[in-house]
Amino acid sequence: MEIREKCLLCCQRLAACFQKPRSETDGTAVPARPDIVVVIPGQTTSSPPPSAPIPAGNSVYLALYDYTARTKEDLSFMAGDKLEALDKSAGDWWHARALTGVSASKQGYIPANYVAPVESIDAELWYFADTKRLDAEKLLTAAGNRHGAFLIRNSESQSGELSLSVLDQGKVKHYKIRRLDNGHYYVSRNKTFETLKELVSHYSRYDDGLCARLQEPCKKMEAPQTNGLSYKDQWEIPRSSIRLLRRLGAGQFGEVYEGLWNNTTAVAVKTLKPGTMCQQDFLREAQIMKKIRHPKLIQLYAVCTVEEPIYIITELMHNGSLLEFLQKDKGSRLSLSHQIEMAAQVASGMAFLELQNYIHRDLAARNVLVGENNICKVADFGLARVFMVESENIYEAKEGTKFPVKWTAPEAINDNKFSIKSDVWSFGILLYEIITFGQMPYPAMTNYQVVQRIPMGYRMPAPPHCPKVMYDIMQDCWKENEQERPTFETLQWRLEGFFDMDVSSYDDASRY
C-alpha cells in the first residue's frame, strides 16, 4: 500500500474515533467532541460561522422576524439574531453588521421595523405593543398556541397602561397590568414586581389567581411589510424586475396580478388600461401616496410608467377586495364582532388620512383589501381624481365629472365638493356593504333615483339583523350638513368601543 493511502486510512480511523467515541461502561455512542476537528487529506470541512464580538452600548439589536435579502446590498438574518446598527441615517433601512447567525460578521442593509434594541421590552417575544384586544384574541386562538399562551399589549382603554391576555382552554382572558408610584408592576396588589420580566417569570411558575399559568408566548404572525421594497426605495423601477404570476381580478381601470419583484418579494401589480388617466396627474398623486404610510393603508411601493400599460406596484393582500371577500364562503360566515372589527380597521386608516388632510374620494368595499386573519387596508386613496373612465356605477353630473353615485355624498355629486366629510358619507355606505355581506346599496333604486331622492331626505333603511347602534352610526355618516357628520377618529373609537372590556385586575374579576 502506498504511503499516501496509508496516511489517508489512518486519518479516517482517527476521525471515526473522535466522532463516535464509545462509553467506557456500556459501549454506547456518546456525543462527539465539539472542540476537535480532524481534517482528512483531500476533503473539506464546514463549521458554523463564527460570532462577531458583540459591542457594548445601545447599537445592538435583536431580530424579531426572519428576513431574506432582496438585493445583493441587503443582509439576510433570522429571528433571534443580533445585529449592530452602523448607520441609521437612511431612516427605514439601516446599514448593519450581523453579530450572530448565518450572516455573522457580514454587513448590509436591514429593514428597521424588523429589529428592536436588544435590552428593550420590544425585543421580548411576549410583547405585542399596539395589538388590539380583538386582534389579541385572534392571535392567541390561532393554530399553534396552547393553553397558557399569552401576550402583553398596550391597553386600548387607558393610554400608558398595559394588558395581559391569556389563552384559557380555547378562550382568552384579559387582565390589566398596573403600576405603583415607585414604578413597580402588578396584576394583583398583593404581588408587585420591579420589571415586566419579573412579572412574567413569576406567573410562568405560579398561576397565583390567573386563569392559567403563563406558558409559551403567543406565536408571532407573518412579518410586517418593509417600508419600501429595499433601502434604495426606487420610485420608477424597471419593468423587467416584475414578473406577473397570476391574475387576481379585474376592475374598471385595469387588471390586478400577483407578482414577484426581483425574484424575491411578493407584490400586487395593478395594470392600467391605456387612456384611463392623465399620466402627469397620476405621477403627481402617486408621489404623495407613496409617502403616506399606516398599518391600515395599502403601501405603494413603486411604478412602471415608461411604457403602457402603467404598472402600480403595491403590497400584496391575499384575500382580495373586501367586497369579494364578503360575498365568498369565508367572508359570508363572519360574525358580527368580526364585521365591526373590520369596519374599525377601515376607520383607523381613514382617520390617518384625515390627519394628513388627505381625501380618498372613492371609499367603498371594492377599494379595501383583505389579508390574512381578516386584516383590512384601504387602497387606491387619491386615485379617483386622476381616473377618466366610464362605468355602470358612475354618474356624470357635469361634463367631465363622474362619480360612483351610490357611494358619493350629495354635495360632491351636485357641487363637485369633495372633502373628508364626503368620505365619511361613503364610509356609511361601506358599513352597509359590510353588514349585508357585500350587497349593492340602494338595491331597488337606479342611480338617477338615488340622485333625485337623497336631497329630499331619503336614506336607506336599516338592513336586516343590523344592530341599532350600527345603524345609528350609518345615519350619522349620512347627515345632510356635512359639518354634522362625525370625524373618522370618532368613528374609529365608537367602533372599537364594542370591544373595550379589559379586566381591571383579577382582584375584582372573579367572573373571569
Active site residues: 362
Nearest to 378 by CA among 402, 412, 354: 354
Q: Strands 265-272 and 82-87: what pairing? A: unpaired
Residue 38 · residue 11 · CB < 8 Å: yes
In degrees and rounded to multiples of 5, residue 304 shows phi and psi of -125, 105
In degrees and rounded to multiples of 5, residue 398 shows phi and psi of -135, 165
Residue 259 · residue 245 · CB < 8 Å: yes
Which residue spans within 336-410 are E strands per DSSP? 368-370, 376-378, 394-398, 401-404
Distance (Å, rounded) from C-alpha 62 to C-alpha 230? 20
C-alpha cell read off for 499: 370591544
What pairs with residue 117 in β-bridges? 61
Distance (Å, rounded) from C-alpha 143 to C-alpha 145? 6
Burial of 25 (0-12, 13-18, 19+ CB in 10 A): exposed
The label of the residue with cell 356624470 reads 396
Distance (Å, rounded) from C-alpha 244 to C-alpha 258? 6
Residue 437's region, left for phi above 0, alpha for psi from -120 to 50, else beta, is left
Residue 314 · residue 300 · CB < 8 Å: yes
DSSP-derived secondary structure for 12-46 = HHHHHHHHS-B-TTT--B----TT---PPTT----
Distance (Å, rounded) from C-alpha 444 to C-alpha 459? 13
329 CB-near residues (< 8 Å, 6+ apart)? none
